[in-house]
Amino acid sequence: MSERGTTALLALGALLLFFVLMFGGRAGSDVGETPRPSSVEPSANGHALARRWLESQGVRVLSLREPFGALARLAPPGAGRSSLLVLTLPGTGPVQTSELVPLDRWLRAGNTLLVLAALADAPDWSRGTAGADAFDLKAVTGLEFELLEGRAGRAVPAREPGVLLPAPRRESARAVPGVPLLEGVATLAGESDYERSTWAVRLPYDGIVLELARDAASGAGVLWSRPIGRGRIVVSGYGTLLTNRAIGRGDNGRLLANLVAASVGPEGAVLFDDGHQGLAPTYDPVQLFGDRRLHVTFGTLLALWLLWVLGATRLRTPRFAEPAPRPGELLRAAGGFFSRVLPPAAAAARLCEHFFAQLPSGRGSRHGRDAAPPWEWLARQPGIDPSDLRQLRDWHAAAARGRPVPLGKLHNLLRRMQQGLA
């Protein structure tokens, strides 16, 4: 295979690895986190199927990621503009007190609120809460719930997560006959991942609550409706009622269709409260990845990268011939080696021996290598400074005893004395 062909195959392999690392994981939540029931979540806990079905029926669907104060702007009330808001509790954060007044005003103008509260089921995303959060549920709906296992009148406390079931358990409820909102609805279904509790609603002092369905196992209510101004609040005790894993069971889908038909006007919309499920208002993955400009930009960058890889890169690196070292470099390398391994005293003694070996003896021949240093002869030479001679004798004696000697200064001293003898 040619070098360009090998480069192209490696580039495609790197591109495939990039796509696997970036987009191979499940979308909709971070790794290791339990998926939340949002309208863009494609897993079992999401509401993506309900959203797609509504859109296929021509219903305007909005993902509400702002506080409830934005309801009047996104779905303004008016003739033919009544809308439905789907709120799932518990959320990732509490409903702020500042949101309650805009929500109440929006509902009294003729809109509907559907609250999916994890009371009669216990999905995995509701762990660590007392079913649906008691404060948020009461603040939003005006209804207060209590555990049937506890004594009457006791406030609902927060509790630890329940016992994990070996397999998800299906919950079932029977609809109350003769209610127009439940036309064609016989049973409702939920699903629990943990052991659930049984809850009951307290009748409010300033209104009425209509019970629409009862749990088949406990006999407690799981679906309630109460009017509020010209609007209505519907509370489901099954938090999984419209999730992807439960909307096709029982008559859950039919209940959603009845709610939309009764609550959404020709110019209205269905709003899924995704903001309290952790989705930020500035990020919409469906809109982002569906934008044609993103596809064009990514395709252009990919084409330019492939052109650069195939046209400007080489698999083989050019051969580099290492030049032969020069004599001076060899000498410096050898000198550096000896300077690191030779003791300073031995080097000083060898310099002195070499210096004495160059001196003439009294008979006119060279001084013997093993002979004693000719100190007297050196003292009689007029070109030798007496102070230099004394320093040489001190350093020579120190080297003989194995003590360190400054080699640089000794070398300079010997050069000076050689010049004085010349």
pLDDT 10s digit of each residue in the chain, 422 long? 676 677 778 778 887 887 777 666 544 444 457 899 999 999 999 999 999 999 999 999 999 999 999 999 999 988 888 999 999 999 888 899 999 999 999 999 999 999 999 989 999 988 755 455 667 888 999 888 887 764 443 433 434 446 888 999 999 999 999 899 999 999 999 999 988 888 888 776 667 889 999 999 889 999 999 999 999 999 999 999 999 999 999 999 999 999 999 999 999 999 999 999 988 876 566 666 777 888 888 889 888 887 777 776 665 666 667 778 888 888 888 877 776 777 888 888 888 988 888 887 543 444 555 667 888 888 888 889 999 999 999 999 998 888 988 988 998 999 999 888 87
Dihedral over alpha carbons 22, 27, 32, 33 (to 10 degrees) = 140
Which residues in the chain are classed under CATH 3.40.50? 34-292
User: What Rg do the C-alpha atoms of the chain give, in angstroms?
Assistant: 45
Q: CA–CA distance from 298 to each of 20, 176, 286, 288, 304 (Å)?
A: 16, 55, 17, 13, 10
Report the 10 Å Cβ neighbour count for 372: 8
What CATH class has 34-292?
A: alpha beta
Pairing of strands 221-228, 231-236: antiparallel
Backbone φ and ψ of 54, nearest 5°: -60, -45
Decide if 60 contacts 268 (C-beta within 8 A): yes
b/e per residue 320-351 (b: at least 16 CB within 10 A)? eeeeeeeeeeeeeeeeeeeeeeeebbebbbeb
Cα 131 to Cα 82: distance, rounded to the nearest angstrom: 30
Residue with tokens 């360009």: 4
Q: Which of 43, 41, 36, 82 is nearest to 59 (CA)?
A: 82
- The two tokens of residue 41 are 């979540």
* Dihedral of alpha carbons 75, 76, 80, 82, sign: positive
Q: CA–CA distance from 98 to each of 18, 95, 101, 143, 388 (Å)?
A: 45, 8, 7, 19, 96
Please give the angle made by the CA atoms of 181, 213 and 153, to the nearest 5 degrees.
125
